[in-house]
């Protein structure tokens, strides 16, 4: 029988809280596997077993399981009895072994009652495969690795495991509002924080008619991609047109960007408090643009009563783009539909804004009334 064998990561280090983390992880895995057939999911000895119960789409299930936060590695393993001859035959049937240029065997004997030690398992299985396939053994740079795991209830044989999503199950670290723009950075920031156990509440600010319906659709597609990693999301679409027009009309031009970001923070704070979220997540990278200098970031943060989490702060653009490609958001993020963050950008923005000057500028327009009106008209989209 072929099963999906998944290895848990840092959750095994959790003490009395471990059961809570494991319960969340198994629930998420069951939900992800459900569209591909019926699977029995259980955990033993720091591993999780997804066993098909009837006809299942193993390719689809394996790909989906690779996006579940909490697993460091996963593989499609052949399950058999703890009998050396049966283990050898299962190893012989592993796909890809016939086309390998060389191989080696790795063994892990979690069940110490098994009569063969780990080195003896490697010797027995490796010798059998070498004699049967006439395949060279290379313990340093093998073309393929055959893994034999002797566990509590059965033996499992598989080739190299795939890398898992890592991290912690979403929701185990609380909830945060993600300020989701249509760019490359913010979806990656959300992904990184979801990977650390946060449940995400995406908020997108748009300025119709200055921004197009296509820009809104682009953000919803980004949220769908994020949802394939961290579960269903509800996106709050916030109309920001009136606030941006007021800032442009009444405030100094070089402060437009920082004033806009401060207003976004205040609105996002209120949405967070209404929905039980404890922080805001942004895609800021230090020094990337004028609004992301240390001084500008400090002035922006002052407007937020909740912590601002900036998981990309020390990353460069290439690192962020590389992660976006892994997540699957890159191609959508580069579609040419501008979001409201790029509107009314001054030619020479203030890179070292002073808090006193910014607070004085905010007195030039009635931001409290405008923000209260904005909060009354929030569109929700489940993705």
Q: Is 240 helix (H, G, I), strand (E, B) or coil?
A: coil
Give all strands (DSSP E) within 27-90, no chain letters: 39-44, 47-52, 71-80
**Residue 59 reports pLDDT greater than 70:** yes
CB 70 within 8 A of CB 229: no
Percent of the chain with pLDDT over 90: 85
CA distance 41 to 74: 14
CA distance 187 to 189: 5
| Residue 340 pLDDT | 66
* Closest residue by Cα to residue 343 from 213, 210, 218: 210
CA distance 87 to 81: 7
Q: Give start-end residues of each CATH 3.40.50.620 domain in the chain.
A: 174-382
CB atoms within 10 A of CB 221: 17
Q: What is the pLDDT of residues 13-41, one digit of tens each?
A: 777 788 899 999 999 999 999 999 999 99
* Total residue length of the chain: 383
| Residue 9 pLDDT | 86
Q: Give start-end residues of each CATH 3.30.2130.30 domain in the chain.
A: 2-163
| Residue 343 pLDDT | 65
The reported pTM is 0.91
CA distance 232 to 227: 5
What is the CATH architecture assignment of 2-163?
A: 2-Layer Sandwich (3.30)
**Residue 167 reports pLDDT greater than 80:** yes
CB 26 within 8 A of CB 70: no
State mean pLDDT over 327-337: 93
State mean pLDDT over 314-333: 97
**Residue 92 reports pLDDT greater than 80:** yes
CATH code linked to domain 174-382: 3.40.50.620
Q: What is the pLDDT of residues 36-46, one digit of tens each?
A: 999 999 998 78
| Residue 10 pLDDT | 86
Annotate 349-370 with DSSP letters as a single string.
--SS--HHHHHHHHTTTTHHHH
Q: What is the pLDDT of residues 116-163, one digit of tens each?
A: 999 999 999 999 999 999 999 999 999 999 999 999 889 999 999 999
CB 83 within 8 A of CB 116: no
Specify whether the backbone of 107 is left (phi greater than 0), alpha (psi in -120 to 50) or beta. Answer: beta
Residue 157 β-bridge partners: 78, 148
Give Cβ neighbours of residue 2 (< 8 Å, ≥ 6 apart): 52, 58, 76, 77, 78, 79
Average pLDDT along the chain: 94
Q: What is the pLDDT of residues 296-319, one digit of tens each?
A: 999 999 999 999 999 999 999 999
């Amino acid at each position: 029988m072929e099963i999906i064998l998944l290895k848990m990561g840092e959750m095994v280090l959790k003490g009395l809280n471990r059961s809570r983390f494991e319960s969340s992880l198994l629930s998420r895995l069951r939900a992800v596997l459900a569209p591909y057939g019926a699977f029995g999911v259980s955990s033993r000895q720091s591993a999780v077993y997804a066993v098909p119960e009837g006809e299942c789409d193993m390719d689809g299930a394996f790909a989906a399981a690779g996006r579940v936060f909490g697993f460091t590695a996963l593989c499609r393993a052949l399950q058999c009895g703890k009998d050396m001859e049966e283990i050898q035959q299962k190893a012989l049937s592993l796909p890809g072994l016939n086309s390998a240029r060389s191989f080696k065997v790795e063994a892990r004997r979690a069940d110490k009652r098994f009569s063969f030690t780990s080195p003896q398992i490697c010797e027995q299985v490796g010798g059998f495969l070498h004699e049967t396939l006439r395949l060279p053994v290379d313990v340093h740079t093998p073309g393929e690795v055959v893994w034999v795991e002797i566990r509590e209830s059965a033996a499992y044989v598989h080739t190299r495991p795939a890398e898992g999503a890592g991290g912690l199950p979403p929701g185990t670290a609380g909830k945060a509002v993600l300020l989701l723009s249509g760019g490359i950075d913010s979806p990656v920031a959300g992904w990184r924080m979801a990977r650390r156990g946060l449940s995400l509440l995406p908020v997108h600010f748009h300025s119709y008619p200055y921004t197009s319906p296509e820009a809104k659709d682009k953000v919803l597609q980004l949220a769908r991609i994020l949802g394939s990693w961290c579960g269903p999301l509800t996106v709050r679409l916030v109309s920001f047109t009136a606030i941006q027009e007021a800032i442009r009309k009444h405030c100094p031009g070089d402060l437009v960007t920082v004033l806009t970001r401060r207003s976004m923070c205040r609105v996002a704070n209120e949405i967070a408090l209404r929905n039980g979220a404890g922080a805001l997540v942004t895609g800021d990278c230090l020094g990337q643009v004028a609004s992301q200098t240390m001084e500008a970031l400090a002035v922006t943060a002052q407007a937020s009563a909740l912590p601002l989490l900036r998981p990309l702060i020390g990353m460069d653009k290439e690192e962020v783009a590389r992660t976006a490609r892994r997540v699957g958001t890159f191609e959508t993020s580069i579609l040419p539909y501008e979001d409201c963050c790029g509107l009314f950008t001054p030619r020479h923005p203030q890179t070292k804004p002073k808090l006193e000057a910014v607070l004085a500028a905010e007195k030039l327009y009635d931001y409290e009334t405008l923000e209260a009106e904005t909060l009354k008209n929030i569109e929700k989209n489940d993705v």
